[in-house]
Amino acid sequence: MSRSADGAARAVAALRARGELWEPAPGLVGLRGDALALRNAIERELAALAAACVHELGGDEWLVPPALPLATLERAGYFASFPHWLTLASHLSDDPAALERVASSARPADAARSALAPAGAALPPAACYHVYAALADATLDGPRAVTVQCTCWRHEGERHRALERGWAFTMREAVCLGDDDAVGRFAERGTERALALAGTLGIGARFALAVDPFFAPTARGRALLQRVKALKHELLLPLGDDAEVAAASVNVHERFFGESFGILLEDGTPASGACVAFGVERWLLAFLAAHGPDARDWPSVEGGSRPSAKAVAESREPRAASRRS
Ligand SMILES: [Zn+2]
């Protein structure tokens, strides 16, 4: 956060003081009590919103695995784009002598760190990679829409903040692959629904053009394309004072993942794609910033995911934002 966010900071401090929020390590947050009930209600609303986005295209929900093969991220061009965030999953060496040293060490946690086998999987940095991988080398007979949710991992050094920028956080996504028209309509409807939900939750919101923080010079051409072609938009929710948080993003990937994963339309051309992604904890934080930490002050959350022209009309002007693609 580049500016103060008093509403959000006060709410997080209140939850900590009540013992409803705790952080065993930077960027890893636990919740219980009223805060957890609210988080779960918001999670259900986002799930309903994403389900509505995919159901109108005949799509469904998938349960995705908790880790990804590294080869999937390689195929997605991830390593040139966002290597700075990546967290890998490694198990211990299966060498009995190495395991014996760990088991008998006076400092077994330290010993375990030096007994790791090379990492075989990545903890997902976004939910939609699972979908592209599962549809790899398929030919689609029409638009394909899927909603998925998973814990995503992005390591951001010293920048982690409770509920705002987690090392681990919950991402709900709706993903669509198909022809340009279907994908464009899907992105539009996702945008409308996200704004409408913010309005129903009593949270001021606006969409703004955004660009991913691509890492390698080779990937920065994609950043330029994103900006010039307006392929990425973020839903910014206020956190108090002048600060905002990017709580959702609408990402139009054009044919990038269709080409990368060999996902084709019936005419043999690569499918276009888009995803609409929601950060569950960021919605929770914005709700707390808007309504305070006391459950007695919270409006009802259930049943909010309906489009509303009013919410679209209430979009406001730019401010400093905390973003996450
Ligand atoms: Zn995505």
- Over range 304-320, report the average pLDDT: 42
- State the Cα–Cα distance between residues 208 and 173, nearest whole angstrom: 19
For the cut 80, the answer to whether the pLDDT of residue 311 exceeds it is no
The alpha carbon of 19 and the centre of ligand 1 are apart by a number of angstroms equal to 33
Contacts of 28 (CB under 8 A, 6+ apart): 166, 167, 168
Q: For the segment 216-234, what is each residue's pLDDT rounded down to a tens digit?
A: 888 878 888 898 899 999 9
Cβ 126 vs Cβ 82: under 8 Å = no
The alpha carbon of 253 and the centre of ligand 1 are apart by a number of angstroms equal to 9
Axis crossing angle, helix 280-291 with helix 6-18, rounded to the nearest 10: 100
The alpha carbon of 15 and the centre of ligand 1 are apart by a number of angstroms equal to 30
Q: For the segment 153-192, what is each residue's pLDDT rounded down to a tens digit?
A: 999 999 999 999 999 999 999 999 999 999 999 999 999 9
Label residue 322 by pLDDT band (50, 70, 90).
Answer: low
Q: Which domains does the chain have, with CATH numbers?
A: 6-87+123-322 (3.30.930.10), 93-120 (no CATH)
Residues above pLDDT 90, as percent of the chain: 84
The alpha carbon of 109 and the centre of ligand 1 are apart by a number of angstroms equal to 35
